[in-house]
Amino acid sequence: MSHPNSSSRSSTIKAVIFDLDGVLVDTARYHDQAWEELATGFGYALTEADRHALKGRSRADSLEYILEQAGWEDADPAQKSRWLQAKNARYLELVEGLTPHDAAEGAQDLLVQLREAGIKLALGSASQNATKVLSKIGMEGAFDSVVDGTRTTRSKPDPQVFEMAASDLGLDPKDCLVIEDAPAGIQAALAGGFRTIGLGDPVVLAQAHRVVASLKELSLDQGHVLFEI
Ligand code: B16
Ligand code: MG
């Protein structure tokens, strides 16, 4: 049975748009840790559901979400700004030691295979630290388009980040595949008319056209059919 979001005629994709944190590199855990330390300061313990909800959201939206959960939504804007700076400073400390060895398993091979197959590559990340992280893992210059939190004005689950990437590439969303680890990212891609692969838990990412546990499962050696969703 086809996915409810599948078009009746599937065609081979022309571009893959990669999320960064949690897809190309396991920095999602560093975002989690930095938010957890901050929230502990309010006396709020992040839950597993909070972690999933925070993934893929912008820094400012993430803080609003946590403050709402903690009952602190009326916090002073100047204090919010200090918290955002503190969270980012902690995140930057945590990613400081990243090297190309920290790239997700199978990521580098997949980028090379896609490039050799003539498929365009883009990054679609909410992070304002994306170029720094890309450079640390040796992926600067690997993409035809980089859309990150320094370019977007709307946070996932809004499709803006992926729409900008498709526009940069001159492609229609239906010809692009988005690979995401966050429910908000899958929702964003579906809202924009993209095809989707979720990376992670099939229950959490049930809305995706397909879910894999590792990028290694997406080798083109297994045939282009993998991308004909
Ligand atoms: P920053 P992605 C997202 O990156 C993260 O998933 C999310 O947890 C984070 O809050 C957001 O970037 C903003 O990151 O604070 O570095 O600007 O998954 O969209 O690549
Ligand atoms: Mg992510």
Per residue in 83-104, pLDDT tens? Answer: 999 999 999 999 999 999 999 9
Task: Please state the rounded mean pLDDT for residues 185-191.
Answer: 98
pLDDT surpassing 70 at residue 137: yes
The CATH code of the domain at 28-95 is: 1.10.150.240
Tokens 């979001």 label which residue? 5
Cis peptide leading into residue 202 (ω within 30°): no
Give the Å distance between the CA of 59 and the centre of ligand 1: 7
Please tell me the number of the ligand nearest to residue 84's CA: 1
For domain 15-26+101-225, say whether CATH 3.40.50.300 is its number: no
Share of residues in the chain with pLDDT > 90 (%): 83
Q: How far is CA 153 from CA 51, 132, 148, in A?
A: 22, 20, 10
Residues 184, 129: Cα–Cα separation, whole Å: 19
**Which residue puts its alpha carbon closest to atom 12 of ligand 1?**
127
Residue span(s) of the chain under CATH 1.10.150.240 come to 28-95
pLDDT surpassing 80 at residue 213: yes
pLDDT surpassing 60 at residue 221: no
Task: Please state the rounded mean pLDDT for residues 134-163.
Answer: 97
**Which residue puts its alpha carbon closest to atom 7 of ligand 1?**
56
**Which residue puts its alpha carbon closest to atom 1 of ligand 1?**
127
pLDDT surpassing 50 at residue 68: yes
Neighbours of 187 (CB within 10 A): 19
Give the Å distance between the CA of 113 and the centre of ligand 1: 26
pLDDT at 228: 53
Give the Å distance between the CA of 57 and the centre of ligand 2: 9
Whether residue 19 lies in the annotated active site: yes
Residue among 18, 19, 21 whose CB has most ligand 1 atoms within 8 A, to mutate: 21
Q: Which residues of 129-168 are buried (b: 16+ CB within 10 A; e: fewer)?
A: bbbebbebbebeebbebbbbbeebeebbbbbbbbbbbbeb
Residue span(s) of the chain under CATH 3.40.50.1000 come to 15-26+101-225
Q: Which residues of 12-27 are buried (b: 16+ CB within 10 A; e: fewer)?
A: ebbbbbbbbbbbbbeb
Continuous segment of H or E residues that includes residue 176: strand 176-180
Whether residue 76 lies in the annotated active site: no
| Catalytic residue of the set 21, 32, 50, 181 | 21
Backbone torsions φ then ψ of 222, nearest 5 degrees: -85, 5
pLDDT at 190: 98
